[in-house]
């Protein structure tokens, strides 16, 4: 069985799909069984209608689509940029799961953006909405940890605060999941991670976004975001003390070199 792979330009040329993900317009170039055991053309074929999909489902569990020859390639490429899990051997993706994960990513990042705006303008952020978003993230990670993690490195380069928060949330959830955390523990962990850097909204943009070396004064101002984040979470009144502690302590280091308290050890 061959693997999905990108061509020389890095573009994905072939993708492995579960048959339930076949769509009209896709070009099937390989099956999970010999062509001669099926009624299909040896050269591959385009899926013309749903009847073809039903027929493929009778013979196969997985198939491979030629992305270039598929009329839905832009859709797939958009969801699955080169460098994603399509390059991994024997990995199958389920389009509906990716669509759902992408929807949760967008919803969560937009929500964080809204929360930051609310705090910036002195409003009370709706933390309940953040809890609901994290609950969706937990569900997605429990269903398929890989899919959510693939959405993280693909989207983290723009420095978008919502995306950075989402990334932290997903990494924390996946690690928590691997450690055997319960759903409620994951939800606490996830909301703590999602909101851990909220205090940055209190830092003036010209200091926060400065590209050159920070002065000692600017550095000390930035370092106030840990306590600021803790205060935001505490004032919400609907989050655990753990979430406030995560915000307060997320720049502490084991050797005591972190801030704001210079804590050491565990």
Which parts of 88-117 interact with Fe ion (CB under 5 A)?
A: none
Closer of 13 and 197 to Fe ion (Cβ): 197
- In angstroms, the CA 189 to CA 220 distance is 28
Phi, psi of 29 (to 5 degrees): -115, -10
Closest Cα to residue 251, out of 228, 233, 232?
228
Specify the residue for token string 């949760």: 104
User: What is the Cα–Cα distance from 91 to 63, expressed in whole angstroms?
Assistant: 12
Which residue from 54, 56, 30, 58 is spatially nearest to 42, judged by alpha carbons? 30
- C-beta contacts of 122-126 below 8 A and 24+ residues apart: 124/236, 125/232, 125/236
Buried b (16+ CB within 10 A) or exposed e, 59-72: bbebbbbbbeebeb
Beta carbon of residue 260, minimum distance to Fe ion (angstroms, whole number): 11
Binding segment for Fe ion (CB under 5 A), chosen from 109-117, 154-162, 180-188, 193-201, is 193-201
At its nearest, how many Å lie between Fe ion and the CB of residue 172?
A: 14
**Cβ-closest position to Fe ion:** 197
Task: Give least dist CB 140 to Fe ion, A.
Answer: 25
Nearest approach in angstroms of CB 242 to Fe ion is 17
Min. distance of Cβ 112 from Fe ion in angstroms?
A: 14
Which residues inside 67-86 make contact with Fe ion, applying CB under 5 A? Answer: none
Half-sphere exposure of 34 (CA within 13 A, CB side): 2
Residues 73, 187, 197, 252: which binds Fe ion (CB under 5 A)?
197
Judged by CB under 5 A, how many residues of this single chain contact Fe ion? Answer: 1
- Look up residue 43 and give its two tokens: 């050269």
Nearer to Fe ion, 197 or 252 (CB): 197
Closest distance between Fe ion and the C-beta of residue 143, in Å?
A: 29
Question: Measured from the CB atom, is 7 or 220 closer to Fe ion?
Answer: 220
Q: Interacting stretch for Fe ion, rule CB under 5 A, among 15-23, 191-199, 207-215, 252-260? A: 191-199
Element of type H or E holding 176? helix 161-178
CB-nearer residue toward Fe ion: 46 or 218: 218
Restricting to residues 223-252, which ones interact with Fe ion according to CB under 5 A? none
In the complex, least distance from residue 10 CB atom to Fe ion, rounded to whole angstroms: 33
Nearer to Fe ion, 83 or 262 (CB): 262
Mind giving me the DSSP string for 216-257?
HHHHHHHTTHHHHHHHHHHHHSSS-HHHHHHHHHTT--TBS-
Stretch binding Fe ion (CB under 5 A), from 52-60, 169-177, 183-191, 194-202:
194-202
Task: State the Cα–Cα distance between residues 162 and 145, nearest whole angstrom.
Answer: 20
Contact call for residue 164 and Fe ion (CB under 5 A): no
| Contact range with Fe ion by CB under 5 A, out of 31-39, 50-58, 142-150, 197-205 | 197-205
Backbone angles phi, psi at 123, to 5 degrees: -90, 165
Binding site for Fe ion (CB under 5 A): 197
């Amino acid at each position: 069985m061959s693997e999905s792979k990108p061509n020389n330009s890095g573009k994905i040329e072939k993708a492995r799909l579960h048959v339930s993900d076949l769509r009209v317009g896709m070009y099937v170039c390989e099956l999970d069984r010999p062509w001669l055991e099926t009624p299909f053309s040896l050269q591959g074929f385009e899926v013309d209608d749903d009847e073809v999909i039903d027929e493929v489902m009778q013979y196969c569990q997985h198939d491979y689509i030629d992305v270039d020859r598929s009329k839905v390639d832009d859709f797939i490429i958009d969801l699955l940029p080169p460098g994603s899990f399509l390059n991994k051997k024997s990995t199958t993706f389920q389009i509906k799961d990716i669509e759902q994960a992408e929807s949760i990513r967008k919803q969560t990042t937009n929500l964080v953006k809204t929360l930051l705006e609310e705090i910036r303008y002195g409003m009370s952020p709706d933390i309940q909405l953040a809890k609901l978003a994290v609950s969706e993230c937990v569900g997605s990670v429990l269903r398929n940890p890989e899919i959510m993690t693939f959405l993280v490195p693909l989207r983290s380069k723009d420095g978008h605060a919502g995306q950075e928060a989402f990334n932290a949330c997903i990494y924390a959830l996946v690690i928590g999941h691997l450690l055997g955390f319960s759903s409620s523990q994951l939800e606490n962990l996830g909301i703590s991670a999602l909101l851990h850097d909220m205090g940055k909204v209190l830092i003036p943009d010209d200091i926060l976004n400065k590209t050159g070396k920070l002065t000692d004064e600017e550095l000390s101002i930035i370092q106030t975001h840990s306590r600021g984040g803790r205060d935001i979470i505490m004032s919400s009144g609907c989050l655990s003390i753990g979430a406030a502690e995560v915000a307060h302590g997320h720049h502490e280091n084991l050797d005591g070199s972190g801030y704001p308290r210079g804590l050491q050890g565990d």
